[in-house]
Structure 1
Amino acid sequence: MSIFFTLLAKIIPFYFSIILGFISTLFLQCNKDTVAKILLFILGPLVVFNATINIKLQTSVLFLPIFFFLLSTLIAFVCLALFKKIYKDNTANLLAFSVATGNTGNIGIPIAIMFLEPKLVDIFIFTVLASLLYQNSIGYYITAKGNFTAKESLIKLLKLPILYAFILGITLNLFDIKMPEIFKDYTIYLKGAYAILGMMLLGMGMEKLKSSGGFDKKFIFLALFVKFIIWPFLIYAFILFDKFFLNFLDKELYIIMFIFSIVPLAGNTVTVATILNVKPEKISIAVFISTLISLFYIPFMLYIYNL
């Protein structure tokens, strides 16, 4: 029970941000498109740049974000082919994009801090880059392709500054160029702003829920099934395969991978859906429900893993 209440205390502030977002749109007529653009084109690139320039690059550390980026890409394209048989419109694109990633930042990082030692927390945070890069590259492309041609989607992808922020951060890191000390506190504020606005956008996307038919039972079921069943199954299967055949990773990295797989749907998917105008109400309610379920699901899965 202590694990449950500790997790609850970590997540409650995020629900407060969701409520604030809902209120800001319902009563203050705040524009969610503007908030989405701030997240995607300003805060997101700055957060990624800061993480890539500061991490200590090692082979084992580099493996995790590469692995999860490739796995997310594989899941997205496989699910897209399957979901196209269920949905005939761009709902299939949005759903495929959403189930291939998770809330590894706002939910995953607090969980990592709670259960892992500091050096492993740093590795987990660097691994979160896999989610950010997927969401703002392959995921963005798949979602955009629901409304645009392949060429138009690729052009939109190449305009995303987060890709160039990642490349610049890695390049400076390789040359051992670090962020000036005077920006240390500022980067902490950036992470806070990114987390709060991201959760507020989730609430803003729910403002027209009833009128937009956002509560799609089939959509929600498929999203939760892939995220809460398929994801941990695949990761646990890989862990067993590595343990008995490859012996490439160790048990400390195994728990990082497992935590990465059991987080709820990502709030950033609402950002992309809002920017591209691909049914943000549907994904908003799915993300909200998955976050509610994670209160009980995450402690249970960590207990099972420890067994």
Structure 2
Amino acid sequence: MTVFFTLLGKILPLYLSIVLGALSTYFLKCDKETVAKILLFILAPLIVFNATLNVKLDFSVIFLPLFFFLFSTVLAFLLLLFFKKIWDDNTSNLLAFSTATGNTGNIGIPLAILFLEPKYVDIFIFTVLASILYQNSVGYYITAKGNFTAMQSIKKVLKLPVLYAFILGLVLNLWGFKLPEIFSSYSSYLKGAYAILGMMLLGMGMEKIKLNSSFVDMKFISYAMFIKFIIWPATVLVFIFLDKHFLFYLNDKGLYMVMFLFSIVPLAGNTVTVATLLNVKPEKMSLTVFISSLISLFYIPFAVFLYMS
């Protein structure tokens, strides 16, 4: 249990940032939209560019974002078919979309910084592209129940600055370009700033959470927690087992840890943004994301403890 409490001690400061975010909104009236824009348009593109530029591209590294994008897509459509039998409204669309992805950015990247070696941190950030593309393409289709055309979805993806940062980093990586050494420490500052502000942003969104009985849907919450905290890691662990003994695609303990961390993060905060934009039960989604974040405070160190045992 000593290892568990050590891991808990590592992750706890991240969650204190959520409290700071909530306090900054309540007492200082900080504007969360401004923080979100800083994350989306400045910090996220910069760290994605840096990670893509520095990562050593090979089959195993490229395989990871492809694997998770396809997994999220297939899982979302399978869940949609299943949930349509339970809910006859757009609740099924929202739940299928939200449980097929996770908070690999605001929570996943800080976890990667805590638990992975620097080279694997860059690989993790590179893999986060799978979540970004899923949430802004397939996710929009499912949540909007087909209200967006293919062209509209493509336009939404093309507006993401992260996409262009990724393309630029990839091109320069293939050309063998390296940033001057003076920028190496600056990239660490960027990751730290993203981690802190990303966690604070979760807290800054708590003022919209309401405990009205109409929003506390235990069936919705239970399905979301089960899929995110049981189905996701179980599926990834099955793949890791198969790869270790039969497939040999990755054959790297560090990459296995990247995959495992990717699978144990809570629900993505971006799902609330999508639900709000499309007016698909945003209050219910906010409460569910908040609960999953609270559970992950103890779930993540416990899951890492079991994985490392």
TM-score, with structure 1 as normaliser: 0.82
CA contact (8 A) 1:202 1:284 kept: no
Aligned counterparts of 2:121 and 2:188: Cα–Cα separation in 1:
16
Verify the 8 A CA contact 1:33 1:274 in the aligned structure 2.
no
> Structure 1: how far apart are the matches of 2:10 and 2:41?
27
- Structure 1 residue 228 displacement after superposition: 0.9
Matched, 1:242 2:251: no
State the partner residue of 1:166.
166
User: Where does 1:42-191 land on structure 2 (aligned, <5 Å)?
Assistant: 42-109=42-109, 111-112=111-112, 116=116, 119-140=119-140, 142-143=142-143, 145=144, 148-151=147-150, 152-191=152-191
Q: Deviations over 1:24-45 (max 9, x none)?
A: 3334444433433333333322
Partners of 1:147 and 1:66 in 2: CA distance = 24
Residue type matched to 1:287 in 2? V
**Aligned-partner Cα distance in 1 for 2:112–2:32:** 30
1:159, CA displacement in angstroms? Answer: 1.8
- 1:256 aligned residue: 258
1:91 to 1:190, Cα distance in 2 relative to 1, 3 A: farther
Question: Which has the larger displacement, 217-226 or 295-304?
Answer: 295-304
Cα distance in 2 for residues equivalent to 1:189 and 1:118: 13
The offset of 1:207, in angstroms, is 0.5
Whole-angstrom distance in 1 between the partners of 2:194 and 2:59 = 29
Aligned equivalents of 1:198, 1:189: Cα separation in 2 = 14
Gaps of 5+ in 2: none
- TM-score scaled by length of structure 2: 0.82
Query: Is the 2:208–2:286 Cα contact (8 Å) retained in structure 1?
Result: no
Q: Which amino acid aligns with 1:294?
A: S
CA shift at 1:175, angstroms?
0.7
Name which of structure 1's ranges 181-190 and 59-68 shifts more when overlaid on structure 2: 181-190
3-state SS in 1 of match to 2:208: coil
Q: Tell me if the contact between 2:210 and 2:283 (Cα under 8 Å) persists in the aligned partners.
A: no
Q: Map residues 5-44 of structure 1 onto 2, 5 A cutoff.
A: 5-44=5-44
Q: Which whole-Å CA distance do the structure 1 matches of 2:181 and 2:141 have between them? A: 36
Worse-matched range after superposition: 133-142 or 238-247: 133-142
Change over 3 Å in CA distance of 1:295–1:211 after alignment to 2:
closer
2:308 & 2:7 partners in 1: Cα distance? 17
Gaps of 5+ in 1: none
**For the Cα contact (< 8 Å) 2:60–2:250, is it kept in 1?**
yes
How far apart, in 2, do the equivalents of 1:165 and 1:225 lie?
Answer: 34
